[in-house]
Structure 1
Amino acid sequence: MKELHRAIRLLYTGHSQRARRFRYGLILFDALTIIYFIATAALPTTPTMFAINTALGVLILLDLAARSWISQNLRRELMRIYTLADLVVVASLLFAPLLTGNFAFLRVLRGLRLIHAYHLLRDLRRESLFFRRHEDAILAAVNLFVFIFVTTSLVFVLAFDEKAGLTGYIDALYFTVATLTTTGFGDITMTTPSGKLLSVFIMVVGVALFVQLARAIFQPSKIKYKCPQCGLNRHEPDAIHCKHCGESVKIETEGEVGA
């Protein structure tokens, strides 16, 4: 059992090429499940889809169990936002027949794992100069993507009939984006108090995420590297000294050497 525990821990947290490939494989699995959840959000559940959902629920649960098993701090692991999202997704997949409402929109929360998991940030920072230069913009884009599609699915469930199908889902996406950008064309509106409160929520949170993305794109590019002396973790791409304390920093580059 100890050997199995060690093998799983090395796959999830190790530095070997095998471990990195494993983690990138998990990210590919996450991306494919997100595409599937978005594509099927407006479709009625068929026996085939039910079987696929159950299989995905079991796989996600096994992944969650493995990560919890190897965690050095189980409580902290269970309180992470993406772990809570996984628990919600698993519940919506495995207990769907017992639920009276349509909770398919919750499955898009799986998108939170696209970046915030499997030590992916560490791998990308080490292996990709592009990611190091644009990390904030990439993370902001992922957060905005997840918010848009979770909210779209929620709007579809609350404001459209299940029989509306793909056309209704596109209308829900259109309403979400129009509300988020405060365009307000007015051709699709929420008339109930709960619908109006949802619109306010979309505007407030969505605009904040959109502004965060715009700021990350247009602000001067900086690289995350923690200064060993003072702890400052944002530096210019070509910095050789920490601008706060003067300590030498050794930022990894492609083809360039930092002192």
Structure 2
Amino acid sequence: MRRLYWSKAEHAKQFRYGLLALDAISIGWIVYASFLPLSAMVMAVDVMLGLGLLAEFTARTAATKRPLRQLLRPLELADLVAIVSLLLAPLLHGALGFLRVLRTLRLLHSVRLITSLRSDLPFFRRNEEATLAAAQLGVFIFIMTGLVFETQHRINPNIGNYADALYFTVTALTTTGFGDIVLHGASGRLLTVVIMLAGVTLFLRLAQTLFRPSKVRFTCPSCGLQRHEPDAVHCKACGIQLKILDQGLV
């Protein structure tokens, strides 16, 4: 199992692509289920999906050298909380319905998987910082959309599904504020403020990354400078000769 999760062998990469597909299915179901009335079938799919993700989580934890330390990492705890929220689907209605939003934390696992496959994705290697910034913004939008949906769809007739919640989240993040959908209550107003402040910060970070001159990451063995021009032969900070690997492309 350790080789499947961490090896660079072809079969291990295929296994991790399979995990990405599993994450995509789980996230797709989260969105699709918001359009469905709560029923025994929906809860049964939640539980079955949760059992599959729990099996993967258990195997991944057991494959590490120190399972307990791995389990206590923030990303692992977030993943576990997301899985538990699926397994407790029969209880997550009424007063506990808000906890369903925790399953959106599964996106953090997807981003980490993509990062681990960077050597197999040329586009990711060339645009690593921009891709990660876009992924962080996407995760934020999705989690905020989940919060808006779970806190508002029972009390706000304008928030009926994830599409409505996503529409409001994006208009708040961009500070457009059309006004056709507003969140009810003091908690709704505070959530709107969080979306505007944190979202705009992430959006600006993405824009800054996109328009920043293209550079490559390579740690200078002398001074430690990590960002260099793509065709750099010497470090611009200390002048030492660099040996940056490239594919010989002009």
TM-score (norm 1): 0.84
Residues 171 and 177, structure 2, Cα contact 8 Å, conserved in 1: yes
CA RMSD of aligned residues (A): 2.5
Please tell me whether residue 183 in structure 1 is matched to residue 195 in structure 2. no
| Aligned CA distance change for structure 1 residues 231 and 61 (closer, same or farther; 3 Å) | farther
- Mapped pair 1:133 → 2:133: no
Letter matched to residue 239 of structure 1: A
- Show the 5 A alignment for 1:188-227: 188-227=181-220
Asked if 1:254 corresponds to 2:247, the answer is: yes
Structure 1 window deviating more from structure 2 (183-192 vs 75-84): it is 75-84
Residue equivalent to 2:117: 123
Deviation of 1:163 after TM superposition, in Å, equals 10
Paired residues of 2:152 and 2:159 also in contact (CA < 8 A): no
Could you tell me how far apart the structure 1 residues matched to 2:59 and 2:210 are? Answer: 36
Q: Do residues 82 (structure 1) and 75 (structure 2) align?
A: yes
Q: Is the 8 A contact 1:132 1:223 kept in 2?
A: no
Separation in 1, partners of 2:133, 2:72 = 22
Measured in 2, the distance between the counterparts of 1:76 and 1:228 equals 31
Matches of 1:148 and 1:71, distance apart in 2:
31
Aligned mates of 2:214, 2:127 — CA distance in 1: 7
Report the CA distance shift for 1:178/1:227 in structure 2 as closer, same or farther (over 3 A).
same
TM-superposed deviation, 1:76: 4.5
- Asked whether 1:233 is paired with 2:226, we answer yes
Q: How many angstroms apart in 1 are the aligned matches of 2:77 and 2:194? A: 21
Deviations 1:218-252 (A, max 9, x none): 11122233334443332222223333334444333
Question: Does 2:26 align with 1:33?
Answer: yes
Change (3 A) 1:109 1:162: farther
Identity %: 45
Specify whether residues 42 and 242 from structure 1 end up closer, same or farther in structure 2 by C-alpha distance, changes over 3 A only: farther
Aligned residues: 247
Shift of 1:55: 2.0
Structure 1 residues 69, 226: CA separation in 2 closer, same or farther (over 3 Å shift)? farther
Is the contact between residue 43 and residue 165 of structure 1 (CA under 8 Å) also seen in structure 2?
no
Query: What is the alpha-carbon distance in structure 2 between the residues aligned to residue 75 and residue 250 of structure 1?
Result: 39
Quick one: structure 1 residues 78 and 226, their matched pair in 2 at CA, closer, same or farther if it must change by over 3 Å?
farther
Pair 1:79–1:221, CA change in 2 (3 A) = farther
Hey, what does 1:101 align to over in structure 2? 96
User: Could you say which residue in structure 2 is the equivalent of 1:71?
Assistant: 64
| DSSP-derived class of the 1:173 partner | helix
TM-score, scaled to structure 2: 0.87
Distance 1:232 1:23 in 2: 32
Instruction: Give 2:109's aligned residue.
Output: 113
User: Aligned partners of 2:96 and 2:236: how far apart in 1?
Assistant: 55
Asked whether the 8 Å contact 1:179–1:203 carries over to 2, the reply is: yes
Q: CA deviation at 1:75?
A: 4.8
Q: Tell me: CA distance 1:25–1:161, structure 2 relative to 1, closer, same or farther (3 Å).
A: same
Distance 2:58 2:232 in 1: 42
The answer to whether the 8 A contact 2:136-2:202 is kept is yes
Secondary structure in 2 aligned to 1:44? coil
Structure 2 residues without counterparts, runs of 5 or longer = none
Q: Are the equivalent residues in 2 in contact too, given 1:41–1:153 (CA < 8 A)? A: no
> Shift in Å at residue 122 of structure 1?
4.4
**Where does the alignment leave 5 or more consecutive residues of structure 1 unmatched?**
1-7
CA distance in 2, matches of 1:245, 1:148: 41
Q: Which has the higher contact order (CA 8 A, sep 6+)?
A: 1
Compute the displacement of 1:165 (Å): 9.9
Shift of 1:13: 0.7
CA contact (8 A) 2:228 2:235 kept: yes
